[in-house]
Structure 1
């Protein structure tokens, strides 16, 4: 099983780590190339590039100046214990006992680091995948990463392995799903509102983390196993599922 998720903007570099295990990111050289470009920008240029507040521009300017490979346990943190958005709070990696399963199964797409395994060390950053940034002759991060992320996933995937997309559209666009060696399963989470079935972004984001935890804890390896998810009162609805690759979970 492989799961892909988006990163989070909120980061936590203070909480006590539940493990001393750590690994190195596959695309650290590429991250250093991107950081070199960002470190040359002024605070005002970062503010405009990322459409962020002055406080966030100041914070990230300092992050880019302090970026310092090689990564060690002293200057970086395993990414799964650094990302602190709503999906990762639902995942709650701090309480997951199957750390090896999580490390083998979960992949986090990143504008800066390409693809991260949970225990890959990461220094704090902000760089969304949709950023229009000129680097190495490319005008966008999507072009910078090109097909390298898809190739990296294919290197790891077994034939017929379950592949679950729990990433946002912005981040999943960094992959070429038609070139992956397996089918992509993209669960949808929907609520009834005013008598109509709708996707509500806040709940969808939380459920991506809840489902990732379910898949990891239960070491799910089959499509039928995925359909057994019933977190946060959502359950599979065959009635509302029109495409097997996009199973619908309804609350």
Structure 2
């Protein structure tokens, strides 16, 4: 069973990563691989074009143009850091990879996948160089008008490879719609289970974006801590007051609710 997460816009390259944490190379990173191809396209853009393409301020545009220029086809501990430690946002606050033991990091490495506009798919310990490229970006390329066309079935094919040994392959989608859209459902050979997180507000339950993002990371964290192997096991998820609501759920849509 694989758990899919979205990346974060915010990055943390300041907080030290413990020296004993291992690092791995992203699957799609290679001198002539997909990530390098995208960087080459981005390097052709001026700061003004990047600002328009990604709806960024001039300062953020200049920062990312500098990142594209500095990006190397070979990630090392000197120019990159492990993805689960580099991404800094609500999801990753919930995941809290820094608190994992070595054994828990190993399990996360085998079961947690982070979707990325630049890297396609990352494992938690894959080295990540600073970048900004959201999956919904309309970056024209030789495959089509945007990143969905660029990645095509490659992400789904990679997930299939990761799940090949599973008798009943399952993908637990904890990613946003923007990112999960990059997974070609026709090519994916696994059952997909969605997770929904709702808060009680006045007179009904509703999805609150801030809380839902953190909850996605929390569920991935719970799965790591308990080595969750089936969707049924996820029904016991109970971090930070959430509980499984059987009546609101369906086999392919697990609903977790809480009153705060």
Which TM bucket (shorter chain)?
Answer: over 0.9
Work out whether residues 162 and 221 of structure 1, in 8 Å CA contact, stay in contact via their aligned partners in 2: no
* Local SS of the residue matching 1:131: coil
1:124 aligns with 2:130: yes
* Local SS of the residue matching 1:189: strand
1:119: how far off? 1.0
1-side partners of 2:226 and 2:185: how far apart?
26
Residue among 35, 40, 50 paired with 2:39: 35
TM normalised by structure 2 equals: 0.93
Work out whether residues 46 and 57 of structure 1, in 8 Å CA contact, stay in contact via their aligned partners in 2: yes
TM normalised by structure 1 equals: 0.96
1:226 aligns with 2:234: yes
1:201 aligns with 2:202: no
2:50 aligned residue? 46
1-side partners of 2:243 and 2:256: how far apart?
5
2:251 aligned residue? 244
1:87: how far off? 0.6
1:137: how far off? 4.3
2-side partners of 1:218 and 1:160: how far apart?
19
**What are the ranges of 5 or more consecutive residues in structure 2 without an aligned counterpart?**
none
1:62 aligns with 2:66: yes
Residue among 169, 176, 182 paired with 2:184: 176
225-234 vs 159-168, which deviates more?
159-168
1:8 aligns with 2:16: no
Aligned length: 250
Task: State the Cα deviation string for residues 82-102 of structure 1 (Å, max 9, x = none).
Answer: 000111011110111111101
1:216 aligns with 2:220: no
1:178: how far off? 4.2
1-side partners of 2:143 and 2:254: how far apart?
39
1-side partners of 2:170 and 2:142: how far apart?
35
1:161 aligned residue? 169
189-198 vs 94-103, which deviates more?
189-198
1:30: how far off? 0.7
1:105 aligned residue? 111
2-side partners of 1:5 and 1:20: how far apart?
21
2-side partners of 1:244 and 1:237: how far apart?
12
